[in-house]
């Protein structure tokens, strides 16, 4: 008798690069001020770099204190007229912006990927559609503001300063601008130094939408531009997303002043897997939770808490899944993990990973060929992690997951809450009642059940403890941009 053995098929991927020919990146971008692109007062231009190739993408003007003062003046001039428009009219502008983002979505996705290093699949399927969705959502609120804040009488705050990080450049700009404009404020946005490109394309979209001059201002620059904006006279509110250290500095600078403040800061979120969970599904959620956007996600599930009885099985499945991840050219549609956003961020990841090894945790990094140029870090898993290790405490903001274990539900809650942060958490279980019980005991602004990194413009997002305060998204996102009169 002969035994027939099946020939195993080895699947491989052919390269599937997205073309970058169709995008219209200029060599140079000025500041977007008073409805047009302008030379910066100090004449400073800085190249923005593609982190996957280390090649410059465009030269971008950086704003100084003089530009900030002019921008505030123009935004202040424009604000009463913008606020006086009927809500329905403001909504039309927001709808137009949303539609134009959709029309230019392919171009915006490529620009986001080139400027920031994230896989095209993510910029195309997550960043850009969600940015449009935020403008659509808040367009819907513009004529119903009082119903979003418990039927109170409200007015806009005035001129708001908004500072965003580099991990979701266009999406964070949309999170900030859409509610501010819907509420009748004028806004001055400062994009992050490594990723200003899509904010500048959004400036073009504001022009195309014929947004009145001064309603949106875009002032690229680094931390000193951000610090100057925070301290500039004439700003009524600062909305900041970024690191906890900078958030603290901003809070101290504004203490005792009549300036509104919301802070969306860092995180070290727990992703909790109970033994009764659908483990294969949980593994997909763990991968999405920590390797999405190279782990450059404030709410990344970077602390993986697994119930001891299924620890080996989950780690085994996770490692097998990790080895199938494809790392490399972010413009290739097959790529799962793209480039690290900057040399500086890569250095920080390497430093914390080295600390993990020195402190005795066991490191596994997937073997793969990494491109010669650019900034890369292969997906990494740490086991034998103790809660006191730096990799269990500090935000790595990279594709690195630390595994901890627990025995009981109470221990899972205690370990999850044992963090100075409190941004998000994930719960994987088959039992609805357990999920509700655990979720209500967690100190986290967002808790996902049997999913992770699921974003929706109708849902509020924000932190507890050192993850900040204030909410963005949904009706809760209107409140920080309004003053309750009665
Ligand atoms: P960062 O704080 O260094 O920079 C964020 C922004 O602030 C940038 O535009 C930067 O130029 C500006 N900035 C820097 N110093 C400043 C200062 N002194 N005053 C005013 N502005 C200043 O953070 P990052 O490294 O760009 O981003 C990563 C951090 O952002 C992570 O900690 C991450 O968790 C956090 N983040 C939080 C959320 C959230 O919603 N909670 C979302 C995304 C990122």
445: DSSP letter: S
Report whether pLDDT(4) > 90: no
Rounded CA-CA distance 369/380 in Å is 15
- Of 165, 345, 419, best ligand 1 pocket probe by most atoms within 8 Å of the beta carbon: 165
**Ligand 1 pocket at CB < 6 A:** 163-167, 190, 192-193, 222-223, 226-227, 230, 241-243, 246, 249-250, 264-267, 298, 395, 397, 423, 463, 467-468
Q: What percent of the chain has pLDDT over 70?
A: 98
Say what the pLDDT of residue 20 is: 85
Residues 129, 130, 133, CA angle at the centre, nearest 5°?
90
Mean pLDDT of the chain: 96
Say what the pLDDT of residue 2 is: 54
- Of 243, 459, 461, 477, best ligand 1 pocket probe by most atoms within 8 Å of the beta carbon: 243
Distance from Cα 70 to the centre of ligand 1, integer Å? 24
pLDDT in tens, 225-276: 999 999 999 999 999 999 999 999 999 999 999 999 999 999 999 999 999 9
Rounded CA-CA distance 303/49 in Å is 31
For ligand 1, atom 21, which residue shows the shortest CA distance?
A: 226
Say what the pLDDT of residue 18 is: 92
Say what the pLDDT of residue 12 is: 79
Distance from Cα 243 to the centre of ligand 1, integer Å? 4
Q: For strand 362-365 and strand 303-307, is the pairing parallel, antiparallel, or unpaired? A: unpaired
The pLDDT confidence band at residue 22, using thresholds 50, 70 and 90, is: confident
Rounded CA-CA distance 189/35 in Å is 13
Say what the pLDDT of residue 6 is: 65
Distance from Cα 440 to the centre of ligand 1, integer Å? 29
Domains in the chain, please, with CATH? 28-265+466-484 (3.40.605.10), 270-456 (3.40.309.10)
The mean per-residue pLDDT over the stretch 93-97 comes to: 98
Q: Which are the catalytic amino acids?
A: 264, 298
Report whether pLDDT(377) > 90: yes
pLDDT in tens, 43-88: 999 999 999 999 999 999 999 999 999 999 999 999 999 999 999 9
Which of 10-19, 172-181, 454-463 is predicted with the least confidence, judged by mean pLDDT? 10-19
Name 42's Cβ contacts closer than 8 Å, sequence gap at least 6. 64, 66, 67
Rounded CA-CA distance 346/352 in Å is 10
For ligand 1, atom 3, which residue shows the shortest CA distance?
A: 243
The mean per-residue pLDDT over the stretch 410-436 comes to: 98
pLDDT in tens, 285-320: 999 999 999 999 999 999 999 999 999 999 999 999
Report whether pLDDT(7) > 90: no
The mean per-residue pLDDT over the stretch 193-202 comes to: 98
pLDDT in tens, 380-405: 999 999 999 999 999 999 999 999 99
For ligand 1, atom 43, which residue shows the shortest CA distance?
A: 298
Report whether pLDDT(1) > 70: no
Buried b (16+ CB within 10 A) or exposed e, 21-31: eebebeeebbb
E strand or H helix at 36: strand 36-38
Say what the pLDDT of residue 3 is: 59
Rg of the chain over all Cα atoms, to the nearest angstrom: 23
Say what the pLDDT of residue 418 is: 98
């Amino acid at each position: 008798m002969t035994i027939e053995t099946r020939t195993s098929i080895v699947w491989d991927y052919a390269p599937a690069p997205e073309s970058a020919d169709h995008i219209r990146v200029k060599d140079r971008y000025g500041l977007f001020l008073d409805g047009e692109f302008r030379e910066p007062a100090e004449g400073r231009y800085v190249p923005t770099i593609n982190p996957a190739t280390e090649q410059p993408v465009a030269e971008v003007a950086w704003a100084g204190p003089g530009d900030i003062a002019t921008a505030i003046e123009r935004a202040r001039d424009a604000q009463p007229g913008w606020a006086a428009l009927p809500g329905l009219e403001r909504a039309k502008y927001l709808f137009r912006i949303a539609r134009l983002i959709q029309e230019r979505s392919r171009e915006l996705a490529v620009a986001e990927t080139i400027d920031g290093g994230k896989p095209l699949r993510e910029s195309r399927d997550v960043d850009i559609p969600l940015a449009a969705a935020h403008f659509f959502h808040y367009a819907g609120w513009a004529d119903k503001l009082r119903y979003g804040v418990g039927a109170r009488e409200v007015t806009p705050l005035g001129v708001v300063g908004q500072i965003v990080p580099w991990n979701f450049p266009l999406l964070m700009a949309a999170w900030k601008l859409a509610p501010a404009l819907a509420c009748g404020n004028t806004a001055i946005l400062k994009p992050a130094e490594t990723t200003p490109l899509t904010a500048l394309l959004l400036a073009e979209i504001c022009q195309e939408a014929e947004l009145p001059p001064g309603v949106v201002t875009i002032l690229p620059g680094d931390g000193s531009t951000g610090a100057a904006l925070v301290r500039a006279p004439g700003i009524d509110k600062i909305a900041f997303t970024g690191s906890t250290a900078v958030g603290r500095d901003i809070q101290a600078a504004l203490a005792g002043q009549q300036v509104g403040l919301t802070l969306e800061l860092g995180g070290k979120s727990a992703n909790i897997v109970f033994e009764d969970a659908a483990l294969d599904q949980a593994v997909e959620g763990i991968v999405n939770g920590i390797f999405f956007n190279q782990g450059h996600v404030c709410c990344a599930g970077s602390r993986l808490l697994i119930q001891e009885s299924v620890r080996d099985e989950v780690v085994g499945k996770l490692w097998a899944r990790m080895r199938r991840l494809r790392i490399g050219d972010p413009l290739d549609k097959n790529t799962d993990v793209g480039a690290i956003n900057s040399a500086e961020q890569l250095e920080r990841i390497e430093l914390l990973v080295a600390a993990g090894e020195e402190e005795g945790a066991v490191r596994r990094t997937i073997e793969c060929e990494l491109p010669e140029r650019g900034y890369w870090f292969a997906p990494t898993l740490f086991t034998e992690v103790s809660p006191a290790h730096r990799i269990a405490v500090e935000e790595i903001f990279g594709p690195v997951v630390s595994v901890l274990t627990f025995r009981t539900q109470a221990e899972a809650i205690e370990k999850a809450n044992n963090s100075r942060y409190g941004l998000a958490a994930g719960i994987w279980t088959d039992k609805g009642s357990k999920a509700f019980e655990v979720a209500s005991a967690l100190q986290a602004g967002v808790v996902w059940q049997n999913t992770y990194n699921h974003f929706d413009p109708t849902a509020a997002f924000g932190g507890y403890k050192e993850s900040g305060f204030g909410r963005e998204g949904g009706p809760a996102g209107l409140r920080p941009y309004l003053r309750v009169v009665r």
